[in-house]
Amino acid sequence: MARWVMILAMLCVAPALAAQERGFSALARVDAEKSVVRDTRLGLELHLSLSQGVPYRVFTLDDPARLVLDFREIDWQGLSGAEFARAERAIGVRVGQIRPGWSRMVIDLAGPHILDSAGLVVERVTGAGDLHVVLGAPDAEAFAAQAGTPDLPGWDLPDPEGALVAPRRRVPGEGPLFVVLDPGHGGIDPGAQVGGVTEKDLMLQFALELKEVLLRDGRFDVVLTRDADEFVPLERRVALAHQGRADVFLSLHADALSGARAHGASVYTLSDSASDEASAALAERHNRADILAGVDLSGKDDVVADVLIDLARQETQPRAERLAKAVLATFKAQDLPLLSRPGRHAGFSVLKAPDIPSVLLELGFLSSPRDLENLRDAAWRARMAGALRDAMLVWRREDGARAGLVRQ
């Protein structure tokens, strides 16, 4: 990143830190009526009116072009992206929590508009803050040179709490089955939305209930990749499972399809090629979660490129496929609704742990009134949780028997 951008970012933080030192500690609120993103002659500008000054940073990310603003911390209530963004050069705006105590705004840019300036003015008497960010004319080369998360002291986003603790190594089939449950989306990334219902909230609720069912059984150890409304990058979700040496990784989702009548559950396993166009589109939407949340993906290697990873997956992938079949068979036996072709595969990034059998479960579709009613029904969720417990126990017995044959 160009040195002058680093200096700019450091200057941006200083006034807000000073405001905090003067004792303004209540949660800052945004004044939606006085805040706007609008086009200028060559670029665009952002005005953000806050009830008080807060520490913040501003930076841009490339491929695709995005403007990212981090805060400690903002109450976004009342801010509507449609009313707030009045600029043709701002093609999308998202706000939300990125970690507990951290807020983020991400603005998708129509082109590589370079960051010209950013400044926060704090009113001396009231402590109210006015943030002004200016983006200039598009310049692909200069934008690429600027883009990246600034390396500023004290601004490293903390890891989510509750990192997995690796259990002691054990013989396959003995001791509790260590399951990592991954409630999809979270924080700034709501996932699918229908009315006031969001995928992130439903999946967290179900994950917490499923965890309770598994722990009460006594034959499982369970950890969640998130246990609150916070954003966890896809790479971090996989890394947590790998760090904890999980036996099973289960990612939980409930998508929405416009104009489609699809309903029922489906189970996905990893594949370089999708089983159908709908699965390919679904994987693309899920894999964009990090981009939507303003995560810097520059310089990250493809996790499936390494030869050793491919070799490890030769053993793991068949185990994941047998897990998916066990889940679907149990759902069918217990008369739970299934998609017409419930066993599918696609290139989901969250399933790319090479040494852990991983599946992605779509519990249903928020766009289906029938599925939405089920997902909001505690009794139905309890049936689904019980079926998943039964399926994993069946799979474990079969997997343990196969492991014994391999050792022989």
* pLDDT, tens digit, 9 for 90 and up, residues 139-152: 999 999 999 988 77
The partner residues of 48 in beta bridges, in order of sequence, read 131
Arithmetic mean of pLDDT, 350-365 = 90
The average confidence (pLDDT) of the chain is 83
pLDDT the model gives residue 10: 38
Per residue in 209-224, pLDDT (tens digit) is 999 999 999 999 999 9
Nearby residues of 114 by Cβ (< 8 Å), 6 or more positions away: 43, 60, 135, 136, 137, 138, 139, 142, 143, 146
Q: How far apart are CA 320 and CA 326, in angstroms?
A: 10
Residue 298, CB half-sphere, CA atoms under 13 Å: how many?
Answer: 17
pLDDT the model gives residue 308: 43
Interhelix angle 378-407/199-217, nearest 10 degrees: 60
Per residue in 172-231, pLDDT (tens digit) is 556 899 999 999 999 999 999 998 899 999 999 999 999 999 999 999 999 999 999 988
Q: For residue 188, what is the DSSP state?
A: T
pLDDT the model gives residue 37: 94
Q: Please say if the pLDDT value at position 311 is more than 70.
A: no
Arithmetic mean of pLDDT, 234-243 = 85
Q: Please say if the pLDDT value at position 60 is more than 80.
A: yes
Per residue in 265-297, pLDDT (tens digit) is 999 998 876 666 776 777 777 777 777 788 877
Q: Please say if the pLDDT value at position 6 is more than 50.
A: no
